[in-house]
Amino acid sequence: MQEVTDLEFMRVLHGYGNPDLYFTEYFRVHAHSRPDRYILRSIIENPTGRPIVAQMIGDDIDRLVANAEELQRYPVAGIDLNLGCPAPCVCSKNSGGGLLRNPAKVDAILSALRSCVHVAFTVKTRIGFESPDEFDRLIDIFGQHEIDLLSVHGRTVAERYNTAIHYDKIRLAVQRLPCPVLANGNVVSLRTALLTLKQTGAAGLMIGRGAIRHPWIFAHLRHYFEHGTELPAPDLRDLRGYIELLYRETRNEEATTLQHITRMKRYLNFIAPGLGADERFLYEIRRVREEAEFFAICDRHLKEGAAVPAEPPPESVFAGLAGLDSVA
């Protein structure tokens, strides 16, 4: 997820229970672009012991090919094309989810990338731009290019994060494509993870926003699949410790305190909804400017031993944040 699930976040997540596979933030590809050095650090310095896939976004075929070739000089497990980002600033440039308006262009890009990618070639997509009915044609296109893995966010671009997941469309991809399919969208807890797998038959799950709120989710899923039992839920003190670790590990020494707190608010936008009466914790944290005040607010709201709510409230802003649809 762009500007959130970077190298520093990977380090933190690694300590709570790794996913099996990581995806980088997306490399923006455009005329004369080269792979971003900051994002490359996630590949070069990958601390997790897990494979990592380099994710690209763009619509310039020649530059996508050039960047894919350059990225393969690094220790990547795969190259991923993002067809899922719903952010207006991305879609207006016919990138990310915006490409779904032009299936012929998607077809041409996949053909060019399949020819030059010699590691795993993966795609992240939504089920259409305006209508879920568009997904049938997209599946046909995906099936023509021998992609190695497809990750499907079960909403259209127009639906952003504001509707129920179309599990039937993910299941359709599972049934019709020879490659493994990962299900994505609203996987925020053990319950929603198991529901998604049951409804879709997917080979696995792609988790982004849910991993920011609940970094324990991978360890809890792995324990459930291995033992058939649930681990105890983390409590608010555990969450307080996680936030402090995030604060410490993501700190850039060149950033001012206010700049770092602004960065932390990106994480808290996903962590805080549903914590405390009337969303007071989120309200206060969004207005903080000083480090002491930041942790005083955390101490005030996260000092009890109560369990962290398993899921954010359905009506929370957690479901409405856009522009962060890349994956962890």
251 within 8 A of 49, measured Cβ to Cβ:
no
- Tell me how long the chain is: 328
The pair of three-digit structure tokens given for residue 230, joined into one six-digit string? 């649930």
Q: What is the DSSP string of 137-204?
A: HHHHHHHTTT-SEEEEESS-TTTTTSS---HHHHHHHHHH-SS-EEEESS--SHHHHHHHHHHH--SE
Closest CA to 68 of 25, 57, 326: 57
The pair of three-digit structure tokens given for residue 117, joined into one six-digit string? 């990618």
Candidate list 85, 91, 179, 298, residue with the active-site label: 85
Closest CA to 62 of 116, 102, 17: 116
Catalytic: 91? no
Question: For the purposes of burial, counting CB atoms within 10 Å of the CB of 126, is it exposed (0-12), middle (13-18) or buried (19 or more)?
Answer: buried
Q: Using CA atoms, how far apart are residues 95 and 98, in angstroms rounded to an integer?
A: 5
Closest CA to 291 of 324, 227, 248, 230: 248
Q: Using CA atoms, how far apart are residues 235 and 231, in angstroms rounded to an integer?
A: 12
Positive or negative torsion for Cα 196, 125, 90, 51: positive
Q: Using CA atoms, how far apart are residues 103 and 224, in angstroms rounded to an integer?
A: 39
In angstroms, the Cα distances linking 79 to 90, 109, 233, 327 are 19, 13, 35, 13
| Catalytic annotation, residues | 85
